[in-house]
Amino acid sequence: MGRVALVTGGTRGIGAAIAKALKADGYEVAATYGGNDEAAKAFSDDTGIATYKWSVADYDACKAGLEKVESDLGPVDVLVNNAGITRDAPFHKMTPDQWREVIDTNLTGVFNMTHVCWPGMRERKFGRVIIISSINGQKGQFGQVNYAASKAGDLGIVRSLAQEGASKGITANAICPGYIATEMVMAVPEKVREAIIGQIPTGRLGEPEEIARCVSFLASDDAGFINGSTISANGAQFFA
């Protein structure tokens, strides 16, 4: 296959499942992370996938990071913008720092990484940009004004990018996961988790691999006509 995929936040949680799925599909994969060296080393030892550390919130670091990945593995054909954080607080208690940190990572981080990959994709007339947004970007969530704004912004990005990239062979799509059984969700008290599951008609949390399989499809040649779309993967948690 010979294609290269870069997964931001690819060393843990949903991103790790995505990186593994793309490797199994035959891509050369780079998994980036922000600071947790221990998790990155364990992931790399376990999977053999190359890991790279920089913050997606830092434009210059993204530019330098991409150069390093491309000199190691070749031009990046598939960019999965998965890195994301939460800094929850009810709006009246949310600090400007909590707002900025989330926007800088989840929204500006997507701009930064996509902006540095875009010229190469245009030149080669092929690219896949996939953003992991969230159900909470679609419906909003108590305590997540910052996060919901960032994830809703991601949906605006893909719809606009799709129109700009279409004539150059580039697609841009988003996936909006509902609650997924990552460390973060499994760490909440069992009672709270049960309450969360009670709101999911499917009666269970999603698995990271279920999101990874959506990415796998969107990255493939078969998905060439899907552009500017949002796939909701949330176990039938409908919202107005």
Q: Catalogue the E-assigned strands of 42-126.
A: 50-53, 78-81
Q: Is 231:40 a contact under the CB 8 Å cutoff?
A: no
Determine whether 147 is an active site residue. Answer: yes
Q: Which entry of 27, 52, 147, 179 is annotated as an active-site residue? A: 147
CB of 125 to ligand NDP, least distance (A): 28
Query: The tokens 């670091």 sit on which residue?
Result: 61
Among 24, 184, 188, 236, binds ligand NDP (CB under 6 A): 184
Q: Which of residues 201-230 bind ligand NDP (CB under 6 A)?
A: none
Q: Quick check: 118 and 169 in contact, CB under 8 A?
A: no
Q: Does 39 bind ligand NDP (CB under 6 A)?
A: yes
- Closest distance of CB 233 from ligand NDP, Å: 9
Q: With binding defined as CB under 6 A, does residue 138 bind ligand NDP?
A: no
Q: Please report how close the Cβ of residue 98 comes to ligand NDP at its closest, in angstroms.
A: 14
Nearest of 129, 79, 132, 70 to residue 105 by alpha carbon: 132
Backbone conformation region of residue 235, classed left if phi is above 0, alpha if psi is from -120 to 50, else beta: left
Q: Are 104 and 57 in contact (CB under 8 A)?
A: yes
CA proximity to 128, closest of 86, 84, 161: 161
56, HSE (Cβ side, Cα atoms, 13 Å): 31
If one asks whether residue 32 binds ligand NDP (CB under 6 A), the answer comes out as yes
165 sits near ligand NDP (criterion: CB under 6 A): no
Rounded least distance, CB 15 to ligand NDP, Å: 5
Binding segment for ligand NDP (CB under 6 A), chosen from 8-16, 22-30, 117-125, 213-221, is: 8-16
Going by their DSSP bridges, the two strands 4-7 and 127-132 should be labelled as unpaired
Interface positions with ligand NDP (CB under 6 A): 8-9, 11-15, 32-36, 39, 55-57, 82-85, 105, 109, 132, 134, 177, 179-180, 182-185
